[in-house]
Amino acid sequence: MTQNGFPLPFMKMHGAGNDFVVIDRRAGGAPVTAALARAVGDRHRGIGFDQLAVIETDPDVAAKLVFFNADGSEAAACGNATRCIARHLMEESGGTALTLRTERGLLACEDTRDGRVRVNMGAPFLDWQDIPLAEAMDTLHLPIDGDPVATGMGNPHCTFFVDDADRIDLATRGAEIEHHPLYPERTNVQFAHLLGPDHLRMRVWERGVGITLASGSSSCAVAVAAHRRGLTGRAVTLDLDGGRIEIDWRDDGVWMTGPTSHVFNGTLTPEWLASVEP
**pLDDT tens column, 185-197:** 999 999 999 999 9
d(CA 4, CA 1): 8
Share of the chain above pLDDT 70, in %: 98
**pLDDT tens column, 103-138:** 999 999 999 999 999 999 999 999 999 999 999 999
Q: What average pLDDT does the segment 193-202 reach? A: 98
Q: Same structural domain for residues 100 and 74?
A: yes
Interaxial angle between packed helices 79-93 and 216-228, expressed in degrees from 0 to 180 and rounded to the nearest 10: 120
- Domains held by the chain: number: 2
Residue 277's nearest CA partner among 81, 89, 45, 68 is 45
The band of 6, judged by pLDDT with boundaries at 50, 70 and 90, is confident
| Cβ–Cβ under 8 Å, residues 182 and 192 | no
Q: Same structural domain for residues 66 and 107?
A: yes
Q: Same structural domain for residues 116 and 20?
A: yes
pLDDT score, position 1 = 44
pLDDT score, position 5 = 66
Q: Same structural domain for residues 31 and 101?
A: yes
Q: Same structural domain for residues 22 and 115?
A: yes
Q: What average pLDDT does the segment 210-236 reach? A: 98
Share of the chain above pLDDT 90, in %: 96
- Return the number of other C-beta atoms located less than 10 Å from residue 233's C-beta: 13
CA distances from 30 to 26, 61, 73, 273 (A): 11, 22, 18, 11
Q: Which CATH number is 103's domain given?
A: 3.10.310.10
Residue 261's nearest CA partner among 9, 1, 6, 13 is 13
Q: What average pLDDT does the segment 149-157 reach? A: 97
Write the CB contacts of 112 (distance below 8 Å, at least 6 apart in sequence).
118, 257
**Enclosing domain of residue 116:** 3-120+260-274
**pLDDT tens column, 89-104:** 999 999 999 999 999 9
Residue 30 lies in a domain: yes
Q: Same structural domain for residues 21 and 114?
A: yes
Query: What is the chain's mean pLDDT, rounded?
Result: 96
Residue 238 lies in a domain: yes
| Cβ–Cβ under 8 Å, residues 130 and 76 | no
Residue 7 lies in a domain: yes
pLDDT score, position 157 = 98
Residue 126 lies in a domain: no
Provide the whole-model pTM. Answer: 0.94
pLDDT score, position 3 = 58
Strands 97-102 and 105-111: antiparallel
Q: Same structural domain for residues 164 and 113?
A: no
| Cβ–Cβ under 8 Å, residues 89 and 97 | no
| Residue 30 pLDDT exceeds 90 | no
| Residue 226 pLDDT exceeds 80 | yes
Q: Same structural domain for residues 107 and 163?
A: no
d(CA 178, CA 185): 9
Q: Same structural domain for residues 57 and 24?
A: yes
The band of 2, judged by pLDDT with boundaries at 50, 70 and 90, is very low
